[in-house]
Chains A and B, each alone.
Chain A
Amino acid sequence: MSQLVEQIRHVCALGALQSVLAIERAVPVLHAGPGCGQKLWGALGLDNGCQGSGYVGGHSVPSTNITEKEVIFGGDKKLRETIENALKVIDADLFVVLTGCTSDIVGDDVGEVVREFQDAGKPVVYAETGGFKGTNIYGHELVLEAIIDQYLKPSEEIEPGLVNIWSVVPFQDAFWTGNLKELEKLVSEIGLKPNVIFGPGRGLQALNKVPKAQFNLLVSPWVGVKNVQSLEEKFGTPYLHYPVLPIGPTETGKFLRTVGEYAGLDSKRIEEVINRHENEYFYYIERSADVLLETRLLPRRFITVADSFYTLGVSKFLINDMGLLPETQFITDDVSPEHQEKIEEEFKNFIDGISSEVVFTNDGGLAQETIRNIKFRGRPLILGSAWERVLAEDINGYQLSISMPLSDRLVLNRSYVGYEGALRLVEDIYSLVLQDFQ
């Protein structure tokens, strides 16, 4: 990500403060400028599905608010004082110190300061997340690395059937709570014991169980590969990497069979689960098929401008299950080059030999310029972010925000994962088509 960017769709590494907040009773302590926190949670939280501050987010996040003094004389003292008092003032179980650009350039010895607290038995870890180092998705991985390295302890025993689920990036994906819950539900239905650290009601209890798992399940095109590899190195836990966010019957069935086979589960039980879900799913799809098929308004072609979870997951669903055809898909989460080829392969692998063009770019302006030059037959469906609303108006498309920023939607527990999630997505897409002319 070295080129200029118009219309941002992710923020910088320090944005991982939101990943900390996604762990119940964990709190980030920023060693950063006064405005970093506000800018980042605004983009990832408030203006992204109206995800607010929750227990200890927003202006509650402790921060050294670095000024000229710390830039010139160093900020170690200020950081030490802030951590010390944060431990007294804030009621939390885990304190994750995150550095910003200023501290990383000036070269404060944050590790040394944090180790003083660790040596005193305080639950403090740190990650160097200076914004210039990468995206908040990269930062999310750094936070998990910090927790793995500095907080988690090896377990004497392995709990059979216990599976840690790692998937979407909290807050970056406005639907993260719903999506993780749905993955958890699916995995438990086939007979495993899911363990998710992010979201309500989990917290350190879930985190502490991580080293005990039978395996790590990573449901992600690329984000988190580094973390499951680290967990394997540190605790010897094997991992299954499933690269597609499963949306709809085709992909979800494949997902459940893959997980079941990997875990050595009875295939009969898995087929029963799949069958039950498909029956229910098709009840609704059959009932709405009249409208899906017999109106003159429905889009036939779609474009995604979204992070890799959704470009891929949604494309699989719309092509393999819903009979739509792809135009170009734009992947905006700054996928590191070593993962791009594998992701691109997935876009050549739809039913009936259908494939889709893919462009990796986090420059939304460039993506939109490319879309404006496509000649459409009929109104296209654009699954993107709030930045695409103006574009859709200009090119007469149908637009639904699914990827950061979702400043035009309020998201609570909605999920687009699995069978249920696919039904929600169909509801959302076709409701906007129907609302468009009424």
Chain B
Amino acid sequence: MSSYAILLGRQRHVFDDLKTLMAAASPEKSGDRLAGIAADTNERRVAARYLLADIPLKTFLEEPLIPYEIDEVTRLILDGHDAAAFSPVAHMTVGQFRDWLLSYECTTGALSALAPGLTPEMVAAVSKIMRNHDLIVVAAKTSVVTGFRTTIGLKGRLSSRLQPNHPTDDPEGVAGSTLDGLTYGVGDAVIGINPAGDNLEACIRLMELFDRLRQRFDIPMQSCVLTHVTTSIKAVEAGAPLDLVFQSIAGTEAANRGFGVDLNVLREGREAALSLKRGTVGDNVMYLETGQGSALSADAHHGVDEQTIEARAYAVARHLKPLIVNTVVGFIGPEYLYDAKQIIRAGLEDHFCGKLLGVPMGVDVCYTNHAEADQDDMDNLMFLLASAGVNFLIAVPGADDVMLNYQSLSYHDIVSLRHSFGRPPAPEFEAWLYRMGLFDSEGRLAPQASSDARRLIDYRASA
């Protein structure tokens, strides 16, 4: 392992190894400071970036930040690396790679072909020397399209997760939030609920609730109960109408163990959902969530900065061919992302890194009440992500999640972004919205509820 040094004026900056350099080059994050690996001066951060810019991309194949022997995520990354796909950029340094990403030669097609040749460490490294501008314009060139009953990630579309959480999973309460969201055209990525309890029977009841609603109104949609993968496997065995298998994942084997999963059980979850063959336009059956800081909070980060660990989670994700993946960017709290500046930066980094690796990336634009952020900051991030071509965003009624006690986007925000950017929902779902009279002839929310829309709002979940 080599150390890295640079002389800036009269100050010599030395970094013991590659992971120390990566951490020091990272934009300011409270989590890296908490871990004791952040640059202690602003100059040292930029010194690290000069050095990082000159490191060959190949180095990340030769010097794993977390040893191959002790971590199955490292093994997945290195064993699965596609050298042929990597070859167009194999001679580049991190800095040259950044310039190439911004160049005219770097097209959507080139990025799609390159994705299997990139590792999380490469994309994390290049993101650290990219400004927010760069993260947005390069991500906007990527295209990652997936499908189940709707097609998500098509150019010029913006999808959304409808999140009808309720503190006690009361079926009518859940239905109220769901029906409200559908009238705003939200839910084309997934109707996904975080269940209040993790027990199998309660989860199956929710799956049945959404499946009845789907069939009653012939909605091209998929639902997901965000329970542990092992519970979803049991639900499949019990014959429940499960569309997608959910799991929170992280970028190290130890952090995944903290979530009670490993690669094997994740693959089993995927196989279980595939066995049901419930998809109509595609067979992407996984929904995964991530977030910077989760490995640190599980004391499973191996001294690697939180953004690089997050990018490694996307290697786990892409292995599972998911329908949708999102970072829950502001949920974890101020000890990992202190304020809106850090949350916004992390949201753009996560979206960029995921997309470059070929992951169908969305974002939960969100914050907790002890972070230095508010709804104005979420407005900023949602517009930036829409510019960056995000596949989907999460929305809850009035931006207030009454079960998880944090704030996300509102249904209104999704409508507003779609109109501001001219990006309608997934085509199958959009057609349904027109059929139901929920959209007017211009794709706007219909001013007067049609009789079909009225039937939807009057739907009784418990009937």
A binds B: no
